[in-house]
């Protein structure tokens, strides 16, 4: 995981994903982005602002879709930006495509209120199953 001192957003990859998101200690909001996505560039300053605001309760992470095909495929991400919300390692909600900052913030606030209940009703992750081999 990559994070600078002044930054509240962690850069995750295929190799750090499981430790940071699926087995992490905090619920997480992940922004799937690409370097060429104009909407990603527009929303990113707001995503970083929300990370500073809610960073004690949630892990905020980014994943570059161009460099991490395994995670992209595993979570069926087809468009950038995609924001996925994870509780106890399980995906519980998402926002796909260009979103207004107010919508993203409201989803973060609602996730903090209700995310744990959604996770309890989600299916467990089986780490022994892979799509390869």
- Residues 59-105 have pLDDT tens digits of 999 999 999 999 999 999 999 999 999 988 888 889 999 889 999 99
Based on DSSP, count helices (H) and strands (E) in the chain, helices before strands. Answer: 4, 5
Which pLDDT score is estimated for 5? 42
Domains of the chain, with CATH numbers?
Answer: 9-120 (3.40.30.10)
Which pLDDT score is estimated for 3? 45
pTM of this structure:
0.82
d(CA 66, CA 57): 29
- Residues 6-33 have pLDDT tens digits of 568 999 999 999 999 999 888 999 999 9
pLDDT score of 44 more than 50: yes
């Amino acid at each position: 995981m990559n994070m600078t001192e002044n930054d509240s957003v962690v850069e995750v990859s295929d190799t750090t994903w499981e430790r940071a998101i699926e087995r992490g200690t905090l619920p997480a909001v992940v922004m799937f982005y690409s370097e060429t996505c104009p909407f990603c560039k527009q929303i990113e300053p707001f995503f970083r602002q929300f990370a500073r605001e809610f960073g004690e309760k949630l892990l905020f992470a980014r994943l570059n879709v161009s460099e991490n095909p395994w995670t992209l495929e595993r979570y069926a991400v087809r468009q950038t930006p995609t924001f996925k919300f994870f509780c106890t390692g399980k995906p519980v909600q998402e926002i796909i495509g260009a979103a207004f900052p107010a919508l993203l913030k409201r989803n973060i606030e609602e996730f903090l209120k209700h995310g744990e209940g959604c996770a309890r009703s989600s299916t467990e992750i089986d780490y022994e199953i892979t799509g390869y081999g």
